[in-house]
């Protein structure tokens, strides 16, 4: 035993964990009633609140720490000695929490102590954080659940359970595809499997029930998958209403554009008609002006035409007499001319008939010949009986 204690002294002197050997103390009947320190390293003495290991050697456990700390674990140490099986437990010494592991050693135990105060505080903090997170997840109106690498549900809040139509107890530690077979073949399954394969995260919209939409965020870490679903039904309804309003606005815009085009065509047609009417009005005004300018001399001419006709009536009558009188008189006096001797060439061609003509045409102007002399077609003067025989005789014909 002394050799063992010496070896332990050399091996555990500078270890950060406490180590000590306790011998069993028995009564006269051989029953184990207490333990006595046989050896302790400096870390073990400090863990129990003593400065040096020498202050513990030879002292009994119940005498040094009655009713608290390590003294309260005498029954556990007795079971280790009697059963020959190691045991572990944690206890508090003052403000320090220690975890002790007891191993049977001959008629006693080898006890190792480790300070777990920081770990317990951290664990307590984590536990408090988890409790706070759990309370927040339970109070949130959004669905949340987590899955491990085997697709088992490790956590599900009340909203997610209600969305699936099952209780939290029915879903906890169950495989997702067996607990919710309606998810097989849906977009939810495809996106979750893609995230679990290491694709990062996914955000998608999913209709859990008719008329109810959720925006799902899924991400993976250390083989686990977390799913968060936010109810966006009101937003989808607003988007649907917005689409309806936009559709109505678009149709109204199209109708307005068609109406504008129609009004534009009508205005263009009206403008064309107005321009045409203005052109016609200008042409009418021009024609009226021209007609007025023409009507002024025509009115003068028409107004004075009757007066001119009245003034020309005597002349017309005289002209008629001149035109028809000589021929009529020539036919009447032709027999008389035949009985008379033809005048000589030196006599005037009209010497024979001039007295008769003068008597017959007292009220008529002398008739004037308008034909020219032509040797190819000699002309006989109607006023003469014989007619001119030469150009010289034609020159002497009265006109």
Question: What's the CATH code of the domain at 88?
Answer: 3.30.450.20
pLDDT tens-digit profile of 338-374?
544 445 544 444 444 444 444 444 444 444 444 444 4
The answer to whether residue 335 scores a pLDDT higher than 90 is no
Strands 32-40 and 87-93: unpaired
Asked if residues 382 and 330 have their Cβ atoms less than 8 Å apart, the reply is yes
Residues 274-328 pLDDT 10s? 888 888 888 878 877 777 677 677 677 777 777 777 777 777 777 776 666 555 5
Question: What does DSSP say about strands 224-231 and 143-147: parallel, antiparallel, or unpaired?
Answer: antiparallel
Residue 148: per-residue pLDDT: 92
From the number of C-beta atoms within 10 Å of its C-beta (0-12, 13-18, 19+), residue 149 rates as exposed
Most confident of 197-206, 257-266, 297-306: 257-266
Task: Give pLDDT, residue 103.
Answer: 92
User: CA–CA distance from 242 to each of 205, 206, 236, 256, 373 (Å)?
Assistant: 18, 20, 10, 20, 113
Whole-number pLDDT of residue 91: 86
Domain boundary among 83, 116, 149: 116
Residue 341 within any structural domain of the chain? no
Strands in 212-221's sheet, in edge-to-edge order, are 153-156, 143-147, 224-231, 212-221, 201-209
- Kindly state whether residue 353 falls inside one of the protein's structural domains: yes
Q: Which helix (H) or strand (E) holds 290?
A: helix 233-339
* Sign of the C-alpha dihedral computed for residues 81, 83, 85 and 88 taken in this order: negative
Do residues 9 and 52 share a domain? yes
Give pLDDT, residue 331. Answer: 58
167 and 215 together in one domain:
yes
User: Do 178 and 221 belong together in one domain?
Assistant: yes
Are residues 46 and 150 located together in one domain of the fold?
no
In a domain, 326, yes or no: no
- What integer pLDDT is reported at residue 1 of this predicted model? 55
Q: Tell me the mean pLDDT in the region 220-229.
A: 89
- What is the mean predicted confidence (pLDDT) over 5-28? 86
Which neighbouring-strand residues pair with 110? Answer: 21, 103
Residues 148 and 77 in one domain: no
- 102: pLDDT confidence band, cut at 50, 70 and 90? very high
Query: For residues 161 and 388, what is the distance between their CA atoms, to the nearest angstrom?
Result: 152
In sequence order, what are the beta bridge partners of 104? Answer: 109
CA dihedral over 311, 312, 317, 318, signed as positive or negative: positive
Q: Is residue 132 part of a domain?
A: no
List the one residue out of 91, 93, 107 whose CA is nearest residue 38: 107
- Distance linking the first and last C-alpha atoms of the chain: 198
Mind listing the pLDDT tens digit for each residue in 32-75?
Answer: 888 998 888 888 888 888 888 888 888 888 887 776 678 888 88
Distance from C-alpha of 175 to C-alpha of 145, rounded to nearest angstrom: 12
Q: What pLDDT shows up at residue 190?
A: 92
pLDDT of 80: 92
Q: How many domains does the chain have?
A: 3
Q: How confident is the model at residue 155 (pLDDT cuts 50, 70, 90)?
A: very high
271: exposed, middle or buried (Cβ count in 10 Å: 0-12, 13-18, 19+): exposed
- Is 50 exceeded by the pLDDT of residue 383? no
Q: H or E element: which one contains 79?
A: helix 74-83
- Establish if 263 belongs to a structural domain: no
Same domain for 93 and 28 = yes
3-state secondary structure of 164: helix
* Same domain assignment for residues 110 and 156: no
Domain end, chosen from 231, 251, 272, is at 231
Which of residues 198, 231, 264 is at a domain's end? Answer: 231
Rg (CA), the chain: 76
Q: What's the whole-model pTM score?
A: 0.46
Is 309 a member of any domain? no
What are the structure tokens assigned to 267, written together? Answer: 């205005």
pLDDT band at residue 171 using 50, 70 and 90 as cut-offs: very high
Residue 231, number of CB atoms within 10 A of its CB: 17
Average model confidence (pLDDT) across the chain = 79
State residue 329's pLDDT score. 53
Do 111 and 172 fall within a single domain?
no
Token pair in block for residue 68 = 């608290």
Residue 153 sits in the same domain as residue 102:
no
Can you read off the two tokens belonging to residue 243? 């689409």
Q: How far is CA 177 from CA 186, 192, 382, in A?
A: 11, 11, 146
Strands, E assignment, 94-211: 96-104, 108-115, 143-147, 153-156, 201-209
The pLDDT > 90 percentage for the chain reads 19
Same domain, 32 and 80: yes
Picking from 110-114, 250-254, 296-300, 348-352, which range would have the lowest pLDDT averaged per residue? Answer: 348-352
Domain check: are 172 and 210 in the same one?
yes
157 and 197 in a single domain? The answer is yes
Q: What mean pLDDT comes out for the span 156-175?
A: 90
Q: Which domain holds residue 151?
A: 140-231
């Amino acid at each position: 035993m002394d050799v063992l204690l010496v070896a332990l002294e050399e091996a555990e002197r500078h270890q950060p964990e406490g180590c000590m050997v306790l011998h069993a103390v028995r009564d006269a009947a051989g029953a184990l009633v207490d333990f006595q320190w046989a050896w302790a390293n400096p870390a073990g003495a400090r863990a129990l609140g003593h400065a040096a290991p020498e202050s513990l050697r030879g002292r009994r456990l119940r005498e040094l720490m009655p009713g608290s700390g390590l003294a309260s674990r005498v029954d556990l140490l007795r079971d280790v000695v009697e059963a020959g099986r190691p045991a572990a437990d944690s206890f508090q010494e003052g403000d320090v929490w220690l975890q002790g592991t007891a191993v049977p050693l001959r008629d006693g135990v080898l006890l190792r102590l480790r300070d777990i105060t920081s770990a317990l505080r951290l664990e307590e903090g984590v536990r408090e954080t988890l409790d706070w997170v759990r309370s927040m997840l339970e109070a949130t109106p959004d669905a949340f659940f987590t899955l491990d690498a085997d697709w088992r549900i490790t956590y599900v809040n009340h909203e997610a359970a209600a969305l699936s139509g099952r209780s939290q107890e029915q879903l906890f530690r169950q495989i997702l595809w067996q607990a919710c077979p309606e998810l097989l073949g849906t977009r939810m399954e495809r996106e979750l499997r893609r995230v679990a394969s290491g694709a990062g995260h996914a955000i998608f919209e999913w209709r859990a029930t008719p008329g109810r939409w959720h925006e799902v965020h899924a991400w993976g870490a250390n083989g686990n998958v977390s799913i968060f679903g936010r109810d966006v039904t009101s937003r989808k309804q607003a988007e649907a209403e917005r689409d309806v309003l936009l559709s109505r606005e678009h149709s109204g815009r199209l109708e307005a554009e068609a109406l504008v085009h129609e009004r534009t065509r009508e205005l263009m047609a009206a403008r064309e008609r107005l321009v045409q009417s203005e052109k016609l009005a200008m042409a009418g005004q021009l024609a009226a002006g021209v007609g007025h300018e023409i009507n002024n001399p025509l009115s003068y001419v028409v107004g004075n035409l009757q007066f001119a006709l009245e003034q020309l009536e005597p002349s017309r009558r005289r002209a008629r007499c001149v035109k028809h009188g000589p021929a009529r008189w020539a036919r009447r006096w032709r027999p008389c001319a035949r009985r008379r001797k033809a005048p000589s060439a030196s006599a005037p061609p009209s010497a024979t008939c001039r007295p008769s003509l003068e008597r017959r045409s007292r009220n008529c102007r002398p008739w004037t010949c308008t034909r020219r002399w032509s040797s190819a077609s000699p002309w006989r003067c109607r006023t003469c009986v014989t007619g001119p025989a030469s150009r010289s005789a034609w020159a002497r014909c009265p006109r």
